Amino acid sequence: MTDLRQPISAALQDFETYPFPEAATRLFGTLGYKSDRTLPIASVADFCREWDQGHILTPRERQALDQLTSLHFLFQLTDTELTLQRDLLDQGNAVDNTRIHSYLFFAAELPAGQYTRTFLSGIARAINKPLAMPALVLFRHGDSVSLAIIHRRLNKRQADRDVLEKATLIKDVRFIDPIRAHLEILNDFGFANLDEDYSIHNFVSLHNAWQKRLDTFALNERFYREIADWYFWAQHLIAGGKIVPPPQVDTDPERSLFLIRMLTRLIFCWFLQEKRLLPGDLFREHRLKALLKDFGPDDPSFYRAILQNLFFATLNQPQQDEQGNPIREFRERTASGRFDPNRGITNLWRYKDYFKDSSVWPTLTAAIPFLNGGLFDCLDRKYQKAENTPNVLLDGFSDNPAESTHLPNDLFFGPERNVDLSTDYGEQDKRTARSKKAKVRGLIHILSR
């Protein structure tokens, strides 16, 4: 597979400096889609004059399109270009509206803001509706772009009309420092990589390849299998002493619950990050290396300083008290350096010494909302002399090594490797079982992909 991630990242940065249609054309060119077939269409009015002379669009659809600040027709890609991979020689600057075996590429600009999938799908559907051929739409909104295609099928009653079905989107791809998942998806979308896997020879095979790449069932199935492999791998690491759970997590069912709780919390945090409610820097390896003193594969710095502080003392702690004073802070030390003044208080930050500059952490997390839902409640209950209650440490959110937990950074950021999970899947007697050489990698890499 051709690795286009670096050129794609560079092409995305062009949206900061180049006019929108030019940057969009550059991005599509990087992905392997280019053509000289074009028309001077730069607005919704131009689009309607060219393609909606029969007033196929409803007033509501026209009103939706009018929210666009610009609508540029970039080019028409035909099956001839896909097959021969060369410039067209016949009427290179014209668009043949009667030709079905082709794809139209549009660049649609919206005012800065956050837009739902439903809204973007509605715009993409309105653009496709009057066209005799399918259209791919690249949206720009604020500091991000989104890509939309509409699935079409032939109308059984009217052969000259397609039925527009569901939309598929790659949504909220940031220009600067895009997340890895978006670079991976766009890389998979590149023509050379699609052709390698699906042998593209016309727009039908191209569209089908796009659909297969983004098929929700296939993506979900792959994700769940990778999460299951990671979970079984983590259990092996507990058995081998690489992961040290909290002291009271000392039975197989409790160890399973500990891993599942951590998975649930982290996946929810990933969802919040995708919604831009958490800063992406919390999950980016190069940012973390600049933030933390130690980031070796066996070091527990990510789980302790980042995840536990995020779970238990940020998402589980209001930003301010009733008087408006900030209350998210690191726990106090005594003059001797011990932490006794805040013993048993589990909604104050810990691991201050893990940071190169601990003053960065309050700034980084200042805008993170308080979630009062119980998911991020710390389950540690420490001994209180007055109440004579024993320790119950199920999360291990502690500066005390005897009470804390150890999850190595490799568990989250480790490279892909093969492990034998055949016993976990009950396939140890099958010679060719996939689980004998299951591929596992760091959990953040799974979520990023």
Residues 30 and 136 placed together within one structural domain of the fold: yes
Considering the domain boundaries, does residue 427 fall inside one? Answer: no
Structure-model confidence comparison of residues 159 and 388, the more confident one: 388
Considering the domain boundaries, does residue 425 fall inside one? Answer: no
What are the contacts of 220-223 at 24+ separation with CB within 8 A? 223/446
Mean pLDDT across 8-19: 95
Residues 198 and 249 placed together within one structural domain of the fold: no
Binned at pLDDT 50, 70 and 90, residue 94 comes out as very low
The model's pLDDT over 378-426, given as tens digits with 9 standing for 90+, comes to: 998 865 555 556 678 899 999 888 889 999 999 999 999 999 999 998 8
Mean pLDDT across 14-26: 96
Residues 303 and 367 placed together within one structural domain of the fold: yes
Q: Which of 194, 214, 234 is the last residue of a domain?
A: 214
Three-state DSSP state, 406 = strand
Residue at 119: amino acid letter: F
Residues of the chain with pLDDT > 90, as a percent, come to 57
Considering the domain boundaries, does residue 417 fall inside one? Answer: no
Asked if pLDDT for residue 86 goes beyond 90, the answer is no
Residues 40 and 88 placed together within one structural domain of the fold: yes
Asked if pLDDT for residue 97 goes beyond 50, the answer is no
Residue 302's contacts (CB-CB under 8 Å, 6 or more residues apart) are: 288, 292, 295, 409, 412, 413
Residues 302 and 202 placed together within one structural domain of the fold: no
Sheet holding 162-174, edge to edge: 70-78, 102-110, 135-141, 144-154, 162-174
Quote the DSSP letter at residue 400. Answer: S
Mean pLDDT across 166-195: 87
The model's pLDDT over 34-49, given as tens digits with 9 standing for 90+, comes to: 888 899 999 999 999 9
Asked if pLDDT for residue 73 goes beyond 50, the answer is yes
Token readout for 331 is: 């726990």
Count the helices and strands in the chain (H runs, E runs): 17, 7
Residues 388 and 269 placed together within one structural domain of the fold: yes
Considering the domain boundaries, does residue 290 fall inside one? Answer: yes
Residues 14 and 148 placed together within one structural domain of the fold: yes
Residues of the chain with pLDDT > 70, as a percent, come to 87
Mean pLDDT across 219-237: 91
Tell me the CB-side half-sphere exposure of residue 425, using CA atoms within 13 A: 20
Q: According to the model, what pLDDT value does residue 40 have?
A: 93
Q: According to the model, what pLDDT value does residue 181 have?
A: 79
The DSSP bridge pattern shows strands 102-110 and 135-141 to be parallel
Residue at 300: amino acid letter: P
Considering the domain boundaries, does residue 270 fall inside one? Answer: yes
Q: Which of 392, 407, 422 is the last residue of a domain?
A: 407
Residues 191 and 329 placed together within one structural domain of the fold: no
Q: According to the model, what pLDDT value does residue 381 have?
A: 82
Count of structural domains, the chain: 2
Q: According to the model, what pLDDT value does residue 82 have?
A: 63
Considering the domain boundaries, does residue 296 fall inside one? Answer: yes
Mean pLDDT across 145-167: 67
Q: According to the model, what pLDDT value does residue 311 have?
A: 96
Considering the domain boundaries, does residue 82 fall inside one? Answer: yes
Instruction: With CA atoms as reference, report the closest residue to 28 among 70, 71, 73.
Output: 73
Residues 178 and 271 placed together within one structural domain of the fold: no
Q: According to the model, what pLDDT value does residue 205 have?
A: 78
Considering the domain boundaries, does residue 230 fall inside one? Answer: no
Residues 255 and 205 placed together within one structural domain of the fold: no
Q: Domain residues for 341? A: 244-407
Q: According to the model, what pLDDT value does residue 159 have?
A: 42
Residues 84 and 203 placed together within one structural domain of the fold: yes
Quote the DSSP letter at residue 304. Answer: I
The DSSP string of 92-153 is: TT---TT--SEEEEEEEEE-SS---HHHHHHHHHHHHTT-SS-EEEEEEETTEEEEEEEEEE
Residues 37 and 184 placed together within one structural domain of the fold: yes
The DSSP bridge pattern shows strands 70-78 and 102-110 to be antiparallel
The model's pLDDT over 259-312, given as tens digits with 9 standing for 90+, comes to: 999 999 999 999 998 888 999 899 999 999 999 999 999 999 999 999 999 999
Choose the most confident range, by mean pLDDT, from 34-43, 229-238, 431-440. 229-238
| Count of all residues that appear for the chain in the document | 449
Residue 80's contacts (CB-CB under 8 Å, 6 or more residues apart) are: 88
